[in-house]
């Protein structure tokens, strides 16, 4: 099944980010998607129709696949928390067991029960996180059981029934909008003109100081022992070795490129998005060190391979975004 999913993902990416005849053949279906998107948006509540005393910020995307939304949310959540705001998060909990009633992530939850991204957010920010397929219900559950000033929605740009005050779209500056077409002919969940309606557009790997952000590697953590090492020491130790980089990210090449840019020599192993690293994935790997992401690590349980190291990253948000957001917070959050 994993092999099949990986092949499907590669095939779709070839259609969406290349010049494929199949994309043209799928355009009639994209017209139906456009109609349905418009119908649902016309029924959505007006922007700003959020519960009194709370501000809702949606961090989402207009393309299918990973663009860096979760690291941006974590960085924004830390910034807001450091300012003294009481932050909460709502998330769908993709590929989790949280398909019924919305519920709050508990300390003893695992990624199978609540999803890898909600669990990672909960542990990184140490704030209430509620998961559920219905984000409006998740918002009500979050507000009912917690004192919250600002709610961050992990993805959910297209969950139109979720009221929101502000919208932040995260794009991959290198891949952009692909062929610019709606699903299934292209990677877009919404028409490209939607970008003109959101409050901010952030681009990973962009040189624009007003919209660009990059992942900054801060260190690495030996997963079995929990020992953390600053990145400069890691580079000194691994600089003359060949390492393995393994991940189940939506865009694994971003992780691999980040490591090679740091001067490391890596053999790469790509797994389908949201997959779990299993013992069989280490078959044939001869290197002494295997690097993975936090999102991969959060899904692991049981016996941990002693070669695994988690690359720890941080996101530096554009100063212009934080300045503009700071000006909006006192009124909207009533803090």
Note whether 26 and 290 are within 8 A (CB): no
Note whether 211 and 201 are within 8 A (CB): yes
DSSP states of 159-197 as a string? -TTS--SEEEEEEETTTTTTT--BTTTSSBSS-GGGGGT
- CA 60 to chain CA centroid, Å, is 8
pLDDT (tens digit, 9 = 90+) per residue, 192-227?
999 999 999 999 989 999 999 989 999 999 999 999
Distance CA 127, CA 185 (A): 39
Distance CA 324, CA 200 (A): 10
**Burial group, residue 135, by CB count within 10 angstroms (0-12, 13-18, 19+):** buried
pLDDT (tens digit, 9 = 90+) per residue, 69-85?
999 999 999 999 999 99
Q: Which of 130, 100, 133 is nearest to 118 (CA)?
A: 130
Provide the Cα torsion 155, 160, 165, 167; round to 10°.
Answer: 40
pLDDT (tens digit, 9 = 90+) per residue, 45-73?
988 889 888 999 999 999 998 899 999 99
Per-residue pLDDT of the chain (335 residues; tens, 9 = 90+): 566 766 788 889 899 998 899 999 999 999 999 999 999 999 999 888 898 889 999 999 999 988 999 999 999 999 999 999 999 999 998 767 666 789 999 999 999 899 999 999 999 999 999 999 999 999 999 999 999 999 999 999 999 999 999 999 999 998 999 999 999 999 999 999 999 999 999 999 899 999 999 899 999 999 999 999 999 999 999 999 999 999 999 889 999 999 999 999 999 999 988 899 999 999 999 999 999 999 999 999 878 999 999 999 999 999 999 999 999 985 544 44
Q: Which of 132, 314, 141, 283 is nearest to 213 (CA)?
A: 314
- CA 192 to chain CA centroid, Å, is 20
Helix-, strand-, coil-residue percentages of the chain, each rounded to 5: 35, 20, 40
Which helix (H) or strand (E) segment is 200 a member of?
strand 200-204
């Amino acid at each position: 099944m994993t092999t099949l999913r990986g092949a499907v993902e590669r095939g779709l990416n070839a259609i969406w980010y290349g010049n494929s005849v199949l994309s043209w053949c799928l355009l009639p279906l994209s017209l139906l998607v456009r109609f349905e998107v418009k119908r649902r948006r016309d029924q959505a509540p007006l922007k700003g129709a959020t519960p009194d005393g709370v501000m809702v910020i949606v961090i989402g995307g207009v393309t299918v696949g990973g663009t860096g939304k979760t690291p941006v949310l974590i960085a924004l959540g830390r910034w807001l928390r450091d300012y003294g705001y009481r932050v909460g998060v709502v998330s769908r909990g993709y590929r989790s067991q949280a398909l019924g009633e919305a519920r709050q992530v508990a300390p003893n939850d695992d990624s199978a029960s609540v999803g890898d991204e909600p669990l990672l957010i909960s542990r990184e920010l140490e704030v209430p996180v509620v998961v559920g397929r219905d984000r409006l219900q998740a918002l009500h559950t979050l507000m009912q059981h917690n004192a919250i000033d600002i709610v961050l929605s992990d993805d959910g740009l297209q969950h139109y029934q979720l009221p929101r005050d502000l919208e932040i779209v995260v794009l991959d500056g290198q891949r952009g909008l692909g062929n610019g077409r709606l699903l299934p002919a292209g990677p877009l969940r919404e028409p490209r003109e939607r970008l003109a309606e959101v409050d901010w557009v952030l681009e990973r790997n962009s040189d624009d100081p007003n919209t660009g952000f990059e992942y900054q590697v801060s260190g690495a953590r030996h997963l079995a022992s929990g020992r953390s090492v600053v990145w400069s020491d890691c580079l000194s130790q691994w600089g003359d070795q060949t390492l393995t980089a393994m991940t189940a990210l939506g865009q694994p090449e971003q992780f691999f490129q980040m490591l090679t840019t740091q001067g490391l020599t890596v053999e790469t192993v790509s797994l389908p998005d949201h997959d779990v690293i299993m013992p069989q994935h280490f078959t044939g790997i001869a290197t002494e060190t295997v690097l993975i992401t936090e999102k991969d690590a959060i899904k692991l349980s049981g016996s941990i391979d002693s070669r695994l190291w988690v690359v720890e990253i941080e996101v530096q948000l554009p100063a212009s975004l934080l300045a503009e957001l700071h000006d909006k917070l006192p009124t909207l959050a009533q803090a």
